[in-house]
Chain A
Amino acid sequence: MNGLAVVDPLFNHGVTFAVLLIVVLKCLLGLGLLMGSVIVMIWFERKAISDMQSRIGPQRWGPFGLLQTLADGLKLILKEDLIPSEADRTVFKLAPFLVLVPAIITFGLVPIGGEMTIAGHKVLLQVANPPMGILLLLAMSGISVYGVMLAGWSSGSKYPLLSSVRASAQMISYEAALGMTIVTVVLVTGSLSVHNIVTSQADGIWHWNLIRLGVVPFVVFVIAITAELNRPPFDVVEAESELVGGFHTEYSSFRFAIFFLAEYMNTITMSAIIVTLFLGGPAGWAPNVAHLKWLFPIAWFLIKTIGFAFCYIWFRASLPRLRYDQLMDLGWKRLIPLSLGWMLIVAGFLVAKGWGFMMGAVVLVAYSVLTRAFSLGQTREVGADSVLPIVGARPLPGDVLRSMTDEEKD
């Protein structure tokens, strides 16, 4: 097996010019598709949310305001690029790319369609299909945390710093639940490759992971990935009313545009990832037409992805922002135990039915203990005895006065 086959199975039979050309074309097409869809996505989000708020939305540039994103981008590029004097210049310049590059790479893992035959070569409609694809996805979402964190930290400003602290805490918290739900998918598929995950769901709607795993991992995954994206209702990172603009407050011009671009790219990519992991990706009904067979999976994939992109906009229009402690509660007290328990049950059922029920019982017992613990913790009396004295505290002036004037009571 050729070493390059890690990137694309086309390289299995040696690197010829035609194969190289196909791969390069695929990369360019993928990038172009992503960029184009970002432009459409920004327009779509602005239009849809303005409809939900009974507004008109962008309308000036192009038909229905379609070119609004281009106009915005042009405006941002022509603006002055500021770097604050307190900023760590190298890291400040690096951070936007740490957000952008993972967003692009992640999209490369998504199978957009089925197979297609070009010049006698069987081509997967997927930019790259590494055998450890799903791990790469997790790694990339881990790296984009660095982008957000370093952007805030290197700005040399307090609000971006606060935002980056929130971002790292939030993204790391939800990464656990995210990872655990992905583990259930990997368990049931038996492979880390994204292509295999999709093909294992190809036999109809009852084989989609959404139904095969029970709906719980899907729900957990959607919530966790929304938090991972810093999108509403989990956008405490960019809470305008609290943090000015969040981690990109100090960014301007093209660097800001990159953050903006990456955010929307991630939204599209994550919608595509949800579709890939739980809704069978390009799977769907296709008529037996001779030369257009490759078209239908692509259409199915696009329909499903657009559906989820719309869901994100819908969330944004409908849900208020969570308070920070509610966010952490949801992540640590609800989603992580839920996804962990569900993973154990799924693992049990994969071994044998008996093991599955046993795991279910164990998880139920653990949940009741956990619920009891949470309720005990919440009803705990907080009084003078339960709080440690503050180290180095000075008595308040009122206390001093009272001790001088009040009579001692025995």
Chain B
Amino acid sequence: MARALDFFGGFKLTFQHLTRPTVTTSYPKAKRPKQPRQHGRHVLNRYEDGMEKCIGCELCAGVCPVNCIYVRGLDNPPDHPVSPGERYGYIYEINYLRCIHCDLCVEACPTQAITESKMFEFSFTNRADAIYTKAELLVDDQGFPQRLPWEDWREGETAMTGGWMRAASPNGDAAYEGVVQWTADLGAGVRAAEAGQSGVRDDEATGSKQIRNIFPKHFEPEDVPLQFRGLQGKLNEAREKMPKRKRKDKA
């Protein structure tokens, strides 16, 4: 008998979904906040004195699993060097028809010359346009990435191009938690420190929200985050919906 009723459990579930909010958004009109470590289009960074960080070592090209990076290094001209090292990246090209945004190039880079921004909304009508050259990847004199006409940068995103950081040090030392491992020398491109292990995170600063907190109604009861359970959950939910200014007044 219980099994016979299980059959109707499926109907109950689909019917319940009618009342739940949708998971998808009507995309170009409403955009979901990006995750703190969203991988997007690359940028090539500069030092404070305007010198390029890239030394043309081709490690990024070597580690790239889809061979989308093409780098050729050249000896620095002695009278006006491009990078502080011996060599500099003479040619730097990324083919975005191939790139899978795995970020291995960022991890391989010894000088943190290449980092990824969060910007992923860009398109081309021409295969040749998909190949970004050094002229397009390099940041400007203030350290901000170039906003190319076919790219859709969101508000404040150009300031978050680099600073991929670790929740703790590579050795797992918790003392480094929340410490940005990399700083952009030109002053732009540093993201807020996120906390990983302690669970303390500043969603306002990192510009993101956990999926768990966005869709608590779609989870099984035991998976719903604590702050969204029961009566207190209803209150918190209502507070979320209030305009930002009012919320701060109450807190």
Contact = CB atoms under 8 A, between A and B. Distances in A.
Interface of A: 48, 50-56, 59, 314, 317-319
B20 interface: yes
25 contacts: A51-B17, A51-B18, A51-B22, A52-B14, A52-B17, A52-B18, A53-B17, A54-B20, A54-B21, A54-B22, A54-B218, A55-B22, A55-B24, A56-B22, A56-B24, A56-B26, A314-B11, A314-B14, A314-B15, A317-B14, A318-B10, A318-B11, A318-B13, A318-B14, A319-B10
Contacts of A51: 17-18, 22
The residue among A50, A52, A54, A55 with the most chain B CB atoms within 10 A of its own CB is A54
A175 to B, nearest CB: 25
Contacts of A59: 26
Nearest to B18: A51
Contacts of B15: 52, 314
A55 B23 contact: yes
Nearest to A53: B17
Given A59-B26, A318-B10, 4 more contacts: A54-B17, A54-B24, A54-B218, A314-B14
A245 B22 CA distance: 28
B223 to A, nearest CB: 16
Nearest to B218: A54
Interface string B212-228: 00000010000000000
Contacts of A52: 14-15, 17-18
A100 to B, nearest CB: 31
A348 to B, nearest CB: 28
Interface in B1-48: 10-11, 13-15, 17-18, 20-26
A57 to B, nearest CB: 9
A50 B20 CA distance: 11
Interface of B: 10-11, 13-15, 17-18, 20-26, 218
B10 A54 contact: no
Contacts of A54: 17, 20-24, 218
Contacts of A48: 18
Nearest to A317: B14
A318 B17 CA distance: 11
B164 to A, nearest CB: 32
The residue among B17, B20, B21 with the most chain A CB atoms within 10 A of its own CB is B17
A48 B17 CA distance: 10
Contacts of A317: 14
Nearest to A311: B11
Those 9 A-B pairs whose CB atoms lie nearest each other, nearest first: A54-B23, A317-B14, A52-B14, A318-B10, A318-B14, A52-B17, A318-B11, A51-B18, A55-B24
A50 B26 CA distance: 13
A209 to B, nearest CB: 24
A55 B11 CA distance: 17
Contacts of B21: 54
A52 B12 CA distance: 11
A314 B218 CA distance: 19
Contacts of A314: 11, 14-15
A53 B26 CA distance: 15
B15 to A, nearest CB: 7
Nearest to B19: A51
A51 B20 CA distance: 8
Contacts of A50: 22
A59 B25 CA distance: 11
A226 to B, nearest CB: 14
A193 B221 CA distance: 54
A59 B29 CA distance: 11
A55 B24 CA distance: 5
A318 B218 CA distance: 17
A319 to B, nearest CB: 7
Contacts of A319: 10
A279 B152 CA distance: 56
Contacts of B24: 54-56
Contacts of A53: 17
Contacts of B218: 54
A48 B19 CA distance: 11
Nearest to B217: A54
Nearest to B17: A52
A56 B30 CA distance: 12
Contacts of B25: 56
A307 to B, nearest CB: 13
A398 B121 CA distance: 59
A48 B15 CA distance: 10
Contacts of B23: 54-55
Contacts of A318: 10-11, 13-14
Contacts of B26: 56, 59
A50 B24 CA distance: 10
